[in-house]
Amino acid sequence: MLRTAFEPSASPNAPRKRRAVVGRSNIGKGVFAGRALQRGEVVGRVRGTLVDDAQVDPYYCMEMDNGLFLVPKAPFRYLNHRCVPNCRLFMWEDEPIDPQTNTRALYVEALRSIRVGSELTIDYGWPAYLAIPCHCSSRRCRGYVVDPSQLGLVRKQARAKSRAAQLASR
């Protein structure tokens, strides 16, 4: 007879700690690792409402592959931005398109191993017209919450603005 070891913590019915939990960050709500995450691990699926106009909720909308936008629900609604994030949004290329929504599911993936309790962040990659100053304190912070390809445009606009302010104050 083979001996069986019993591991109380390995019960399939034991409650599993959630990967992503909403908590307080220094800028309001944030999403935190409920348990340690591996690099490449799928943290979860982003659920929410599909809308056809990003202006419904421009600072939270996530762009889908069919021209629609997902207004995310908790927990992932509260993902904060960092210029060097530890997570990203992605879709499975080979996942069939949902005939009801005409799009694929959106997931959050860990870009590196993340300790329990650490904040989960993504790079918002906003277009220039939404850009706001960034204080994410990443070593490679771009200075604005904006897509890297639009950074030049935002800097140019900021320079033009400060020049106009200088002229106005003369």
- Which residues contribute to the site for Zn ion (CB under 5 A)? 83, 134, 136, 141
Largest interatomic CA distance in the chain: 93
Q: Determine the distance from the C-alpha atom of residue 102 to the mean position of all C-alpha atoms in its chain, rounded to a whole number.
A: 22
Nearer to Zn ion by Cβ, of 82 and 104: the residue is: 82
Cβ of residue 151: shortest distance to Zn ion, in angstroms? 11
Is residue 68 left, alpha or beta, with left meaning phi > 0 and alpha meaning psi from -120 to 50? Answer: beta
Nearer to Zn ion by Cβ, of 62 and 121: the residue is: 121
Cβ of residue 159: shortest distance to Zn ion, in angstroms? 19
Q: How far apart are CA 12 and CA 9, in angstroms?
A: 9
Cβ of residue 26: shortest distance to Zn ion, in angstroms? 14
Q: State both tokens at 42.
A: 């799928």
- The DSSP output letter for 98 is B
Nearer to Zn ion by Cβ, of 19 and 81: the residue is: 81
